[in-house]
Amino acid sequence: MGHGGNVIQELTADHREVDELFARIQAMPPGDPGRRELADELTRELVRHAVAEEEHLYPTVRRYVDDGDDLADKEIADHGRIEGLLKDLEDCRPDDDRFDALVDELKASVTAHVADEENHLFPLLAESCSGEALDVLGARVRAAKESAPTRPHPAAPDTPPANRLLAPGMGMVDRVRDALSGRGHQRQG
């Protein structure tokens, strides 16, 4: 599944990419330095995805879906837990005993979050919004991912308007840090 199309197609494509990154990490032997590179790529993808959802998807859910505030609050809380795990993983070397445990815990949290979105939230959104609105939202999500941070910032605001104001600046700083450190030199996006 490629990127593009409406917001549901875009975010579902992200979910499949994340599934693939988890599989690649877990297929490598413990301690393999390549696991660190894949964990960094996974972190970039999850952070960019979460920021785009928080900027565009969840405000739409709040506005158009019945009980949208409760749904959005739950999803944002999930993001907070995931971002905390990403922050812990960021400081962990692949030969550290905690690395595998953090990857396993992160995978379980992300898998539960994805299942909830795909099986519950996305169908409700599809019922509540026109196809055109979903297409516009997909374009906004893609644009937001381009300027989003690439590293976890658990203390950053996760709701508008503060998240929309701060995310591009944090994203720019993260990309400079990534360039200076060589992090993500194999794949930028």
Examine residue 2 and state whether it is found in any structural domain, yes or no.
no
The total domain count for the chain is: 1
Examine residue 110 and state whether it is found in any structural domain, yes or no.
yes
Residue with tokens 């859910």: 61
What confidence score (pLDDT) does residue 4 get? 78
Examine residue 1 and state whether it is found in any structural domain, yes or no.
no
Residues 150/141, Cβ–Cβ less than 8 Å: no
Examine residue 136 and state whether it is found in any structural domain, yes or no.
yes
Question: What's the average pLDDT block by block, 10 residues per block, for the chain (189 residues)?
Answer: 83 97 96 94 92 94 96 94 92 92 97 97 97 96 85 53 47 46 48
* Rounded-to-10 torsion of CA 174, 51, 41, 119: 180
Q: Encode pLDDT of 60-77 as tens digits.
A: 999 999 999 999 999 999
Residue 62 to residue 111: CA distance in whole angstroms: 23
Q: What is the CATH number of the domain that holds 93?
A: 1.20.120
Examine residue 34 and state whether it is found in any structural domain, yes or no.
yes
Examine residue 112 and state whether it is found in any structural domain, yes or no.
yes
Which domain range does residue 62 map to? 7-181
What confidence score (pLDDT) does residue 162 get? 44
Examine residue 14 and state whether it is found in any structural domain, yes or no.
yes
Examine residue 157 and state whether it is found in any structural domain, yes or no.
yes
